[in-house]
Chain A
Amino acid sequence: MLVVEKVLAEDILRISGVNTRKCMKCGKCSASCPAFNEMDIHPHQFVSMIERGDIKKLIKSKSIWNCLSCMACVERCPKNVEPAKLIEAVRLAVIRQQGANHLKADKIPALVDERLPQQAIVSAFRKYSK
């Protein structure tokens, strides 16, 4: 594991508050996930990869942009691992870097239509930008 990866892994564990060792690898989180088909790495894999410190692939993963924060994985995990918090922490590790915002304000006008509620824009900025 690279030193940067080690620091990142520690950060991710700390800010998520997740104890990856509670996971019994049942896969229920991924089975519950409504974004499963849009993910290259699935929620249960986040848990084991973060435990191993395998962070580089997670940072590049499209899963961090496709998680819906629906909390199904959190609700249904029999061990209360809360995998969504790990996905959130990886996403934050990316967008907290300078210039690494995933959603930029100049992209918004093209995405907005007459009916889109403010709530959509506010939440997308919270998820994809710092």
Chain B
Amino acid sequence: MNIIFDIAIIGGGIMGCGTALRVAEGGMSAIILEQGDIGQGASGVNAGTLSMQIKRVKLMPYAIKGHEMWEEMGDAVGFKKTGGYTLAFNDREAELLHERMTQKKQAGANIKFVSSEKVATAEPHLSKKIVAASYCPDDGYANSSLTGQYYRRKIDEKGIGLIEKFPVTYIRSTSEGWEIRSGDRSVVAHRILLAAGGWTKKIAEMMDVELPIRARVNTVSVTERAPKLMSGVIGHATGLLTMKQKENGTVLIGGGWQGKGLPEQGRGNVSIESLMPNLQLAQFALPELSNTRIVRSWTGFEANVPDFYPLAGKLPNKDNAYILGCVRGGYTIGPYISKLMGDYILGREPEMPLFDPARKIEEGRLI
């Protein structure tokens, strides 16, 4: 006899795990189906930056709430509130910085502009070529490697079902609910949530739903343990650089440089062509990095839709089917938006509005 779950969640990333915790608190029986190990997708390999300065204006309220949740999770996820600087090295970047940060400030982020002298005092190892900078005391980071460990323990505590090494290959609607298969194994549930990150498009297609989801292949690198080089998280006006030094001395370098590969082919590959300028920029911003060794570079898939806003709500044209993903800055926002999603599935009014996947999705403007 088959157990019928209240909800089956496809994907064990932050979005899937976070929603599972909320619906379980609300009394639903939930099961997470994960193709590999939980927390090894984008949620486990991202740069871990919890920075207000790189969040989208419209998503700021969600990011602020998300940030509070990370702070509560604390040591278990390696949370640190360090404050952070965003740097501009020429006039064009200074202008960009001014325009963007002013809007983010209006959206509620605690951001101020600071002089390059101030930056030089606070972060003496940074380049002296800074022409403008902004600062946010709330910025910080968490250790994304611990995502899987954290949620594994929470899921266990709450008695939520979890099947790993269960790549979903087939979904159909039956009189009993959704039947979800991986090879010859199957799970049945009254509701289904698609939270498969960069792989969600394929899953939706199994249900004959077309979604304009694309995947970016973001690159992150880490150095060996180095003497103290910075105390806060460091960003760049264009968004092309993020840096932070962990307590153990390793420096994490990101900035959204694009690797290669598609979600269906594996975990993506680092591209020399984009890794090199990424590391050059890091050394430009912090010259002493030139003597430091890179230990590992890797990539992860970050899903988005053309307007770069989340898909969070009912799956178009299907009953008892939901989707949550494509959240820009999804590591920061994930814990909060998944809580909202859980409330929505439980039939409660979410505290802040979700993002209807059936909206007209237009191409967004990039700067």
B is bound to A: no
